[in-house]
Structure formats: structure tokens, C-alpha cells
Amino acid sequence: MARRLSELVDFKVGRSAGEALPLIDFLIDEHTRDIRYLVVDAGKWMPQRKVLIAPDAIEGVREDEKLLQTSLSRDDLENGPRLDADSPLSRSDEEKLVSYYQWPMYWQAVDGRAVSSQPAETEQGLENREQAARVEMEDESERAPLRSYTEIKHYRLKKQGSASGELQDVLVNDHWRVSGLEAQLQGQAQVLSGDQLAHISWDSQVIEVA
């Protein structure tokens, strides 16, 4: 089932509703379009610290409580690696995270299946993006190729043969992968599938769709 990220940011994350933290953002893989981390606001416990939770740690969804249930306790989060809330995430930061929480090292995958719990896709386009991710990380070992949802939601859309449009929302499937976009194109609301995402220019903040 596809979910809007704008709706999920109204949820909280925790073992129970009593110790849940507000979900405020998502970090999306530039190449595979997987959600790599959920960003939670832990200010009431740990001021000035960024707390990231991998989708692998999400065990279920309680719709009535707007809760993403996780196996992680407050102690787990408080004792985890200290990430500066004002600094971009580096690969060394990720290595500390996965070492502490025992999460898969998704960037070391030979293909989409090797170390990630995400179900693999067989499309050639996904394979190409994953290969590009590995090559880039070899050259930029300290840069985590992740983009914030709060950044992406302000990107412009450009459809081949038509005027630019506006991005309304990002859709993700049950496996935490971007599956489509909701957009306003030529004055009409449209839902675009993941296959229609032709190219994303990160520098220009433009999403080109077929």
C-alpha cells in the first residue's frame, strides 16, 4: 500500500505511545530511492542531537495511534552514536550507526539483496542506480548520498514536452521505497509512478518525469 510521506510525518516512533518521539523527516537514497532513515525529534531527551532510525527497526504500524512501532528503547537511543543535529550525515556516521544497532550495511550490497532487508527489484534501472551509488561512494567515502524529504518536497517538476509543475507529495510502498509522486501538472492533479521518474537534478532541484 502506498503512503504519503506528508501523512507519515504526523506519526510518532517508539516502542509504545508513552515513549514515542515525533517523526519529522526522512532521508532518501539518491540512487535507489529507498528510505534509509527516519529522522525523529528527540529534543525532550537529547537536545542538539540528531536521532536516525532505519526502516529495519520498524516492526509495525498502529494506525489508530499514529505510531510506528520500533524495537528500540529509550536507552537504546540515548546510548547510541552522537550525531550533530546541524551537520550533514557522513558515511562514518552511518558506520557508527549500523555497528551500534546491528543494521544492514546497505551501501556494501553487490546487488539490491546482499545486505539489505529491502525486497530486491529486478528492473535494469534500479540495478544501474545501485551501481552508480557504489561507484560514487568509492570516490566520496565520507559523503552519504542521502536527501531530506523536507528538501525534496520543494523541488520543481518538469515533464517532457510540457510546462513545469509542482510536486505535491512523495509516495512510498510497504518496503520503504519511493513508488511514485503526486504532482500538479498543467493545472491537473496527477499521480506519477516510480517508472516515470526519468532524472533528478539535485543541484537544480528539478525532477524530470516521462
CATH 1.10.260 fits 152-209, yes or no: no
Task: Please provide the distance, in angstroms rounded to a whole number, between the alpha carbons at the two ends of the chain.
Answer: 23
pLDDT tens-digit readout, 87-112: 889 999 999 999 999 999 998 865 54
The pLDDT score that the predictor gives to residue 109 is 66
Q: Where are the domains of the chain?
A: 3-146, 152-209
d(CA 154, CA 6): 12
pLDDT tens-digit readout, 32-87: 999 999 999 988 788 777 899 999 999 999 999 999 999 999 899 989 998 877 78
The pLDDT score that the predictor gives to residue 163 is 66
- Annotation: CATH topology of 3-146: SH3 type barrels. (2.30.30)
Is 152-209 the same fold as 3-146? yes
pTM of this prediction?
0.83
